[in-house]
Structure 1
Amino acid sequence: MEYIIYDLEMTNRLSEIIEIGAVKVVETENGLQEKEQFQTFIRPKADQLSSRITSLTGITNKDLANAPSFEEAVKMFRRWIGSDDYYLCSWGPEDKWALITDSTFHQTNTEWIVNHNDLQFSFSMLHESEKGFRYGLSRALEKIGAAQDGNKHRALDDAINTVKIFKTIFQQITLMKNPTSYLESKMFEPEKLVYQSKPESDQTPSPFAALSKLFN
C-alpha cells in the first residue's frame, strides 16, 4: 500500500484547480519513506487568477498559460500514482471535494478518487478534539516541533510539510478505505464532526466552511 499525500491550489471565484503537488510515501522496514514527488500547474478553463491568489500563492497567469488542461494533468497524476493500491491523504476536506467538483465540471471520471483520508481531521482529533478546532498546517507543524519547508500555499511544499505530520500520527490513526461512490454520496452531507479553524495568519476564509454552516 502506498500513501499519496497531496495538496491543491485553486482559483478564487470558481475554485478551479490550478496546481497539484504530491508526495508518494511507502512503508519500509525502517518506517515510512518518501519515494517520489509530483507537481504540475493546471490551465483553468473558465477562470482567471485574481491578484489576491497571485499574492497568496506566487502563481501567475503566465505560469498557467502553457500548463496542461485539467484532463491532461489528472492523467499525468494518475500515471504517477501508478497501479499499486493507495490511500489519498490531504490536509482538510476541501481538496477531496475540489477533485470531485472539477472532475464533474471537466466531465472526467472520479473512479480513482478512492480511500480518501483527511489528515487535518485525524491530527485535530488526536490533539484537540474536545475544543472543536481544526489545526492549520503551520500550527500543526509547530505542535510537533517541525520547521516549515518551502512556501505556504504552494501545492508541493504544503504536501511535503503534511508528510512530516503524517509520519508523527501514522501509528495512532486508522486510515479508511472507501470507494468513489462513498465520496459522491457524502458530498452534500455534513461531516459528523464539524471543526472551525482557529485564526491563523496563513489561513483564508473557505467557501466549504460557509457551506458547513448551512447544514447545521
Structure 2
Amino acid sequence: MDYIVYDLEMTNRLSEIIEIGAVKLRDTEGKLQVIDQFQSFIQPKMDTLNTRIMNLTGITKKDVMNAQPFSAVIELFRQWIGEEEYYLCSWGPEDKWALITDATFHHTPIDWIINHNDLQFLFSMLHDSEKGFRYGLARALSKLEMTPEGSLHRALDDARNTAKIFATIFQQVTLEKNPHSYRESKIFEPEKLVYQSKDEEAGDNVSPFASLSNLFG
C-alpha cells in the first residue's frame, strides 16, 4: 500500500491549481518511509497570478507560463503514483475539491481520486478537537515540536511537512477507503465536519471553497 501525501497551490480569484507537490510513502514494518517525490508547476487557463499569491508562495508568472497545462501535469502525476494500491492524503479538504473541480473543468478523468483522506481532520480529532477548530500546518508542526522544512505555501515543502506529521500519527488513525462512486455521490455535498477555523499561515479566515464553483461557469 502506498500513501500519496500531496499539496496544491492555487490562484486567488478562481482557485485554479498552479503547483502540485507530493510525497510517496510506503508502510515498512509498521513505519512509513518516503520512497519518492513529485513537483510540477501548472499553467492556469483562465486565471492569472496576482501580487498576493506571488508574495505568499514565491511562485512567479514565469514559473507558470513555462509550465504544462493541467491535463498534461495530472497525467504525469497519475503515472508517478503508479499501479500500487494507494491512499490520497492532503492537509484539509480544499485540495480534493480543487482536483475534482479542475479535472472537471479540463475534461479529464476523476476516477483516480480515490481513498482520499483529510489528515488535518484526523490530526485535529487527536488534538484538542473539542475546541472546534482545525490545526493549520504550522501549528500542527509546532504542536509536535517539529521544525518546518522549506517554505510554507510551496507545494512540495508543504507535502513533505504534512508527510512528517502523518508518519507520527500513522499508528493512531484509521484511513478511510472511498471509491469513485462514493466521490461522485459526495461531489457537491459539504465535508462531514468543517471547523470554524482561523488559519494562522494564511492570515485570514476566507474560505477557499467560495471561488471553486466559478470554474464551472
Q: TM-score scaled by structure 2? A: 0.93
Go from structure 1 to structure 2 and tell me whether the alpha carbon gap of 1:201 and 1:75 turns closer, same or farther (over 3 Å shift).
closer
The 1-side partners of 2:24 and 2:170 are apart by 14
* Cα distance in 1 for residues equivalent to 2:35 and 2:28: 11
* Worse overlay, 119-128 or 197-206: 197-206
Give the equivalent residue in structure 1 for 2:143: 143
Change (3 A) 1:3 1:132: same
Q: Distance in 1 between matches of 2:156 and 2:71?
A: 19
Counterpart of 1:206 in structure 2: which amino acid? S
Higher relative CO (Cα under 8 Å, sequence separation at least 6) belongs to 2
Superposition pairs for residues 170-189 of structure 1, below 5 Å? 170-189=170-189
CA separation of 1:4 and 1:201: change in aligned 2, threshold 3 A:
closer
Cα separation, partners in 2 of 1:201 and 1:116, compared to 1, 3 Å = closer
What residue is the counterpart of 1:99 in the other structure? Answer: 99
Q: Per-residue displacement from partner, 1:55-91 (whole Å, max 9, x unpaired)?
A: 1000011111120110000011001000000000000
Distance 1:108 1:191 in 2: 23
Alpha carbons 2:43, 2:67 under 8 Å: kept: yes
Q: Could you report, residue by residue, the CA deviation over 1:22-45 in whole angstroms, capped at 9, with x for unpaired residues?
A: 000001127210000100000001
The equivalent of 1:214 in structure 2 is: none
Q: CA RMSD in A?
A: 1.6
In structure 1, what is the Cα distance between the partners aligned to 2:61 and 2:201?
25
Secondary structure, counterpart of 1:151 in structure 2: coil
- Percent identity of the aligned residues? 69
**1:1-216 residue pairs with structure 2 within 5 A?**
1-29=1-29, 31-204=31-204, 205-208=206-209
Return the offset for 1:181.
2.4
Corresponding position of 2:215: none
Q: Per-residue deviation at 1:129? A: 1.4
Distance 2:28 2:141 in 1: 24
Instruction: Return the offset for 1:199.
Output: 4.8
Taking a change above 3 Å as real, the CA distance of residues 142 and 39 of structure 1, as seen in their structure-2 partners, is same
Query: Amino acid of the residue matched to residue 164 of structure 1?
Result: K
> How far is the alpha carbon of 1:188 from its aligned partner?
2.0
The TM-score, its normalising length taken from structure 1, stands at: 0.93
Offset, 1:202? 3.8
5+ unaligned residues in a row in structure 2: which ranges? 213-217
Output the CA distance in 2 between the equivalents of 1:201 and 1:62. Answer: 25
> Is residue 15–residue 211 contact of structure 2 (8 Å, CA) maintained in 1?
no
